[in-house]
Structure 1
Amino acid sequence: MYVIIVYDIKVERVNKVKSFLRQHLFWIQNSVFEGEVSRSEFQKIKNGLLDIIDEEEDSIIIYPFEFFSEVERTVLGVEKSPIDEIL
C-alpha cells in the first residue's frame, strides 16, 4: 500500500516524529512523508506515532492508497524532494 502522512506536531515532539517517519517513509517536504509500505508496517507506523504524539495537542493525517497508481501528484512551485528520485 502507498501512504501519505502529514502532521502538525508541537515543537517539542516534531523531531521525534520526523526521525521515526524517516525510518519508514520518504521525506517530501516540511511535515509530509510518503512511501510504499506493507500492511504490517503501516500498523507499526500508526502505533509508533501514537506512542510519540500527544493526542490532545498534535494532529496527524494519513492518506492510505491501495496502489501507488491511485496517487495523482501535481506540484506547483519548487519540489523540495522529487519523488521520481526515490521510486
Structure 2
Amino acid sequence: MYIILMYDVNQKRVAKMLKLCRKYLNWIQNSVFEGEITEVKLLELKYKAEEIMDSETDSLIIFKSRQEKWLDKEIIGKERSEIDNFI
C-alpha cells in the first residue's frame, strides 16, 4: 500500500520520530513522509511511534491508498527531498 504520514510531536521527541519514520518511508518535508509499505511494516511503524509519542499531546496522521498512481501530486516551489528510486 502507499501512504502519506505526518506527525506533530513535542520538540523533545521530533528527532526520534524523524529517525523512526525515515527507516520506513521517504522524507518529503519536515514532518511529512510518503512511500510504499506493507501492512506488517505499517503496524510495526505505528507500534514504535506510539512508544515515542505522548498520546495526550502528540499526533500521527496516516493517509492510505492502494497505490501511488491513484494520487495526484503537485509540488509548487522547491521539493525538499527528491526521491531516488535506485538499487
**Normalising to structure 1: TM-score of the pair?**
0.91
The residue that corresponds to 2:62 in the other structure is 62
Unaligned runs of 5+ in 2: none
Instruction: State the Cα distance separating 1:86 from its structure 2 match.
Output: 3.3
Give the superposed CA RMSD.
Answer: 1.3
Per-residue displacement from partner, 1:27-47 (whole Å, max 9, x unpaired)?
Answer: 101111111011111111111
Per-residue displacement from partner, 1:36-81 (whole Å, max 9, x unpaired)?
Answer: 0111111111111111100101111111111111121001111111
Unaligned runs of 5+ in 1: none
**How many residues are matched?**
86
The residue that corresponds to 1:86 in the other structure is 85
SS of 1:23's partner is helix
- State the percentage of identical aligned residues: 37
Runs of 4+ residues over 3 Å off in structure 1: none
Correspondence 1:1-87 to 2 at 5 A: 1-83=1-83, 85-86=84-85
SS of 2:12's partner is helix
